[in-house]
Structure 1
Amino acid sequence: MDTAALVVTDQLLARPAIRDVARLLGCPPSSIAAALKRTEKALAVRLFQPGAQGLMRTLDGERLQPLFAALAGETRRLFRRQETEAVPMLGLEALHRILTVARKGSIRAAARELGMGQPQLTRQIAHVEAKTGYALFARSAEGAVPTPEGLLAIDAARRIEDLWREMSASSGEKFRRMAATVRLGAVFPLGAESSIAGLLASLSARWRLRHPRQPLFITSMIAEELLNGVRRGIFDLVLLDLAGLPDDLDGRLLSTSPLVLVASQETAERAGGTLDSLLLTSPLAVPSARSGLRQIVDRMLESEVFAAWRGRIDPVEVDSIPVILRLVEDHGFVSFLPAASLPAGGGRLAALGLPVETAMPLYAAWPKGRGDHGLVAQVLALAGGPAVR
């Protein structure tokens, strides 16, 4: 790690735009991007992610911003630079060697402790002094004594080393936890009583008992985001509700659930309780085309059985099953949902069977040739074993 990257990263965290920081510091944008890359590599964390308007701070970026601000402040103090000025690139290892000389009081003793030759360390000191623009030590027969400017530099260097050690330790521990964590992505459960919610809860509880030292991290997304995540290696395994798996994925069918048309009891009674009357008199709420459920619904509606309704259905898209259920229960909407997602006994909801048999599958999927088959087998075994049709 180096001092220039510390200051650049601090500026980026304050204003996440590479070109803006480049103009502020008077550096090429490529130098700013390279400095950020060095920082993220040294910490083994992502501080930014691409956004619609440029860079967006990650949660790690937010968490580490105060430490970077303190590091940048000490770095500017070391080089006697203003906030809008770039600083020279100086490796933190060079600062550690300066601190060793100050602590030992002798270049020879410091060189011996550092395991390097005295001439090499002397050249290192001269290099740092050239970068800072002032002498750090006064050499004499008694040893190396810090100059008044050197005392300030040593204090700044000590603070930089302490802050970097604190940052590296927290990031290193996080990296170790992440490296040991099994990452599972899953489609959003369709309610607390849905089969997916039950499967994920059961898997979490069983995994904790079977693998107490290997955390299982589960996050829910829509199908499109899960596909992107497993292809990029963000997830080890994903649970998808697609009609079929893409060619680049291996997988296993875990379960299927028939689709039904769902309405509130009141809406169903008012419409006479028939599929035809409900579809013609009630607005339809469905997830967006980025979800597996919507793709299955669209395929069903394109069949000849639904030809009479096709031009009359104008769905409202909502990528939230709880919101869709509230639209159904409280606002007279209808929706196509898996029967397994409905509460036992139906509650306030009425479920009507469909004229064409349509089921929503749930697949466990992983990249071809890249999956850890032992890990996949463990997850599938704890998730309920073989496919259920």
Structure 2
Amino acid sequence: MHLGALFVASHVLSSGSMRETARRFNISVSTVSAAIDNLETELALKLAERSSGELVILLAGGRVQEGLAPILAATEQLGNLLGHREPEAYGQWAARIPVKLVTMERYLEVADQGSINRAARRLRLGQPQLSLQIANLEKFFGSRLFERQAQGSALTEEGRFAYTVFSTISLAWNELKSAADERYQRTARSLRIGAIIPTGSESWVARCLGSLVAEWNTGRNKNALSLVSMTADDLREALKSGRIDVAILDSVFGLESFRHRELLRTDMVAIAPPDSTEATAPELVASHPICTPSPRTGIGHAAMTFGYDRTLHRRLRDRDITAADSLPVIVDLVANHGYVSFLGRVSAMPIADRVRIVELEEPMAMSYHVAFNHRKAAADACDLLIATAAKIVPAPVAKDAAFA
């Protein structure tokens, strides 16, 4: 990362505006945005969020701004040495400093070793590459930083000043980076589990996750658990991107490259408003609007097949909601707003006091799956989840099975 990019990112964190920063230093907004993105990547930390066209600086951004203060002070010293003392001119210059932080580290190594050759060996770099970087630094300073001697290289007066400034910058940057490394190690140790959004705290998903956490901690596993609920589509993307390690889904569509196992098997039922009187699912579908999750989910796909293939000219078809990916919202639409929907029996039974459960005339099988990545901890968590589900839910969950 360049020192100029750090200066720009720091100004964004203090001003709260990328556009104002771009105008002040006469650089493009894309350059400013790249500076913030690079800093977030280097520190493995989200510093700001863009919301409704405005930039919101997060608490972490304020802490990083404090950590950057010694770097900004050292940069100002550097500007004074090189003749950029007037505030406006200084800002224009500082935002464009091309010197990379890694180049500063290498300069310090050369100074400590007193030899480019010895420093190159320690850094495992080619001597010509390191010599070129030192030459570019001297060009930036406009003066020699080392006096070449028979036994190596000695710092000039300007070189000693550069050493002081670069040491300050390096120390402050390494402190920021060490905090990032600690965060990364905590994240690496954490096992991230995502589940489809449960119908409520009494649902089988919530109970499975609760039991998993209790047994996981009792077993003194070294990996801390991190739990999150998402829509099925978001779970697939999170698993593919590595943001989660394990996903509980009602379908494994699109996850062919991941290992997956069946978690439990059930059948589908219709859920209807408690005051409805229709006796069969086709009658319900004909008399009520339907709400279902996205058709890319197992429930959504099966529900759309049942609701539409058989009843193409329903009276309330224009009121259907076919992308309600939150099960609590679906339950509320059914219980309080006259909709009908479809759920696996295992998810419907715990809410039987809020909705009517209507059997389908033709059985429609459903299964839930757990998909996971290559980590051994992820496989261990899957084993526990499957064992827990077997205790909580009879397998298979048949029409007459009891469910507490």
TM-score, normalised to structure 1's length?
A: 0.70
**Aligned-pair distance for 1:235?**
2.6
CA displacement, residues 213-246 of structure 1 (integer Å, 9 cap, x when unaligned):
2112222221222222222333322221127565
Select which of 379, 382, 389 maps to 1:380.
382
Q: Is 1:350 aligned with 2:356?
A: yes
Q: 1:383, 1:73 → 2: CA distance?
A: 51
Q: 2:29, 2:47 → 1: CA distance?
A: 19
**Aligned-pair distance for 1:155?**
8.1
Q: Is 1:185 aligned with 2:220?
A: no
Runs of 5+ unmatched residues, structure 1: 102-106, 138-142
Q: Tell me the equivalent position of 2:228.
A: 219
Q: 2:17, 2:285 → 1: CA distance?
A: 51
Select which of 295, 299, 310 maps to 1:293.
299
Runs of 5+ unmatched residues, structure 2: 85-89, 121-129, 147-153, 397-404
Distance 1:336 1:63, change over 3 A: farther
Q: Is 1:261 aligned with 2:260?
A: no
Q: Tell me the equivalent position of 1:104.
A: none
Q: 1:328, 1:175 → 2: CA distance?
A: 43
1:158-197 paired onto structure 2 within 5 Å: 160-197=169-206
**Aligned-pair distance for 1:308?**
7.0
Deviation larger for 125-134 or 246-255: 125-134
1:314-329 paired onto structure 2 within 5 Å: 314-316=319-321, 317-329=323-335
Q: Tell me the equivalent position of 2:209.
A: 200
Q: Tell me the equivalent position of 1:66.
A: 65
May I ask how many residue pairs the two structures share in their alignment? 362
Conserved 8 A contact 1:259-1:358: yes
**Aligned-pair distance for 1:145?**
11
Q: Tell me the equivalent position of 1:331.
A: 337
Distance 1:188 1:27, change over 3 A: closer
Conserved 8 A contact 1:254-1:361: yes
1:1-389 paired onto structure 2 within 5 Å: 1-10=1-10, 14-15=16-17, 21=22, 24-26=25-27, 33=34, 39=39, 42-43=42-43, 45=44, 47=46, 62=61, 65-67=64-66, 70=69, 73-74=72-73, 76-80=75-79, 82-85=90-93, 86-92=95-101, 111=114, 131=140, 160-242=169-251, 246-265=255-274, 267-268=275-276, 271-289=277-295, 291-304=297-310, 306=311, 309=314, 312=317, 314-316=319-321, 317-342=323-348, 344=350, 346-366=352-372, 371-372=373-374, 374-385=376-387, 388-389=395-396
> Match for 2:339: what amino acid?
F
Q: 1:253, 1:296 → 2: CA distance?
A: 18
CA displacement, residues 349-386 of structure 1 (integer Å, 9 cap, x when unaligned):
221112232243211124xxxx4274343122211349
Conserved 8 A contact 2:285-2:307: no
Q: Tell me the equivalent position of 1:140.
A: none
Distance 1:213 1:355, change over 3 A: same
Name the SS for the 1:174 alignment partner.
helix
Conserved 8 A contact 2:223-2:377: no
Conserved 8 A contact 1:191-1:342: no
Q: 2:302, 2:48 → 1: CA distance?
A: 32
Conserved 8 A contact 1:264-1:332: yes
Conserved 8 A contact 2:249-2:370: yes
> Match for 1:375: what amino acid?
A
CA RMSD of aligned residues (A): 4.9
Conserved 8 A contact 1:255-1:363: yes
TM-score, normalised to structure 2's length?
A: 0.68
Name the SS for the 1:333 alignment partner.
coil
